[in-house]
Structure 1
């Protein structure tokens, strides 16, 4: 029988794999809806931004409710369940073209809502369970999320290819529904274990915590604009250089492999060096490696190596940011603090970065020029890192 620590790590890792595995399902389905259902790319693209922003806006409300209610297992499984339900509506959109737009809209709302649950909840559960050893647990857990994000788009593509649009998505829904049930029964008896970890309605934080949250959240917002805005258009950027869709896909696969290794490493560093130092280190390394990437875009091997090193340092937010929060905040505020840093700073910041690049392209900027502008935002975020209070 598994120990409590092993059980929490196993089932939250399964949840992270499933949650991040559907993160790219809507961008993938945009291709099918635009080609097969003849739905406007402008409409589909607008829903993509709404889906991301909705996830970020809902996250603090879910985090606040979680800290007051002690219903982490129900909320964790419920978030995956909402994502599973979204896939049902995505599949129904292929059955009736006249109803496709409203069905896709409902699916996007459900998917965005479901995406608001995992990161603040999973991070808080691991931090409470592992205490001082949470950094390594968050890193291993984050690596599973990276694997899900890398692998599942290919799995979904194969399901659609061999089973068809509706049956393929229905099969994927069944998988997600089973995962949701497994997660609930795997952690249903894991409660917070003490009233000091369940926040009372009247319990408030001192002013210094809000200052910390505001400064770190603002820096994460700028950094996420840079990371997500460049990642969203990286495939198109590589295609324009090498004129090969296959090569662009290989570049993305190789490039994002760095994040799978980086998360456990930076989780360990967060334990050893502290969240503030690890955040600064990952920011500086991200800027340096992206600068190398920008200077070598015509050299396939050097640019792919530079981007892999970039994702090694940049895609470490889960163990670094949520590990940092657990080192600063009381346990009864873990989830809601996570939700502001991850939901508002990371998620909405990423949506803002994507929207900025989209707007610049509409003004006839090149993708490379947009990348340089986002790189400037990353430099600002890195330079301002010393503003984060050393003590709260």
Structure 2
């Protein structure tokens, strides 16, 4: 997660130090997010048919590492058209790599835990992702200071990603196909695929609208902080952004706990409504109250992973869970990430003073989409042993 959220930093470096045009930067980010969204479905299908999800995750992390190394080459050793072309290739490789983990990791965790504690396990895993998102931008500048070069810092992160991939490959998580653990029923064999399941379709729509709204806000909040709240490019800005992302470290395990005990549809609705309400309240308040509301927004907003993925696990059999995860997270969440920032820019009408009203419009869209949640089937509540004993 830290590496994935590091890609916009690469865009900033290539724009400010690499002199790439706005059109090329837009193309680079679009390629990254669209590839990440679309490739996940193919990855999920391959994992459902052939197993080896841990090895495939290792391949994905390695691809992310290679993408970071290509970005470093583009920044430090190329110029002109060659730099732009290499940046696009790096975005493509990193986008493919980023499509592996969420559908396959969620599938592995969902299969490993009982329904009674599955969401908590997903929440604990997601909290580590939130920690990576919160720390990686700061770590980048620390490493840059140590190695005296931003390109060298990118190389360091690429090597770290490759090392993580090698470790995961060595551990050989899930070496057998998941179907070996699950005897499909006649009903499951008759199901053509998760994309035909009404619950998965609705959940994908909810995930998409939620991601468009909240990712669009998160992408533009630093600009809003600088131009409308007067923070400027300072350490204070960095602390505020860290506060925003750190909310997921608390929010994901907390909402995972709620999801294991309550109706998951209701918990997802509360997280969506809470995030929308917090951001609307934030744009009308400042000072300590504003900071508190921003932290609350982070807690609610970054809770989606355990809620969405545990619902998928409840609706589909193990043999199609990776593909279903790719639809809900890939097409839904990651697809929304590609569109959200662009939509905020269009709503703002090229004026930073309109950002607050753009946030409010997207918050209303997020509130409206929760009306679809009661149309999904209710999942059962369980009374199995707790997660850690």
- State the TM-score, normalized to the length of structure 1: 0.88
Where does residue 71 of structure 2 map in the other structure? 90
Where does residue 177 of structure 1 map in the other structure? 162
Where does residue 266 of structure 1 map in the other structure? 255
8 A Cα contact 1:255 1:311, kept in partner: yes
Q: CA deviation at 1:245?
A: 2.1
Q: CA deviation at 1:254?
A: 1.4
| CA pair 106-340 structure 1, distance change in 2 beyond 3 A | same
Q: What are the within-5 Å matches in structure 2 for residues 9-88 of structure 1?
A: 20-88=1-69
Counterpart CA distance in 2 for 1:194 and 1:359 is 46
Counterpart CA distance in 2 for 1:342 and 1:206 is 16
Q: CA deviation at 1:72?
A: 0.6
Q: CA deviation at 1:315?
A: 0.9
8 A Cα contact 1:325 1:334, kept in partner: yes
Deviations 1:166-204 (A, max 9, x none): 332222222111110111112346435653548899762
Counterpart CA distance in 2 for 1:386 and 1:69 is 35
Counterpart CA distance in 2 for 1:349 and 1:176 is 25
**Corresponding residue SS for 2:99:** coil
Could you list the structure 1 runs, at least 4 aligned residues long, displaced by more than 6 angstroms after superposition.
198-202
Where does residue 198 of structure 2 map in the other structure? 211
8 A Cα contact 1:22 1:152, kept in partner: yes
Q: What are the within-5 Å matches in structure 2 for residues 356-367 of structure 1?
A: 356-364=343-351, 366-367=354-355
Q: 1:351 aligns with which of 333, 338, 346?
A: 338
Deviations 1:121-180 (A, max 9, x none): 000000001122211111110000000111112222222343213332222222111110
Counterpart CA distance in 2 for 1:70 and 1:167 is 36
Q: CA deviation at 1:255?
A: 2.2
Where does residue 245 of structure 2 map in the other structure? 256
Where does residue 320 of structure 2 map in the other structure? 333
8 A Cα contact 2:103 2:325, kept in partner: yes
8 A Cα contact 2:55 2:173, kept in partner: yes
Q: CA deviation at 1:269?
A: 1.2
Q: What are the within-5 Å matches in structure 2 for residues 353-392 of structure 1?
A: 353-364=340-351, 366-390=354-378
Deviating more after overlay: 162-171 vs 123-132: 162-171
Deviating more after overlay: 43-52 vs 364-373: 364-373
Question: How many residue pairs end up in the alignment?
Answer: 371
8 A Cα contact 1:70 1:198, kept in partner: no
Where does residue 100 of structure 1 map in the other structure? 83
Where does residue 385 of structure 2 map in the other structure? none
8 A Cα contact 2:200 2:315, kept in partner: no
| CA pair 303-88 structure 1, distance change in 2 beyond 3 A | same
**Corresponding residue SS for 1:295:** coil
8 A Cα contact 1:255 1:304, kept in partner: no
| CA pair 226-382 structure 1, distance change in 2 beyond 3 A | same
Aligned-residue RMSD, C-alpha: 2.4
Counterpart CA distance in 2 for 1:36 and 1:129 is 46
- State the TM-score, normalized to the length of structure 2: 0.89
Q: CA deviation at 1:45?
A: 2.4
Deviations 1:60-108 (A, max 9, x none): 1111111111121221100001001101211111212132111111100
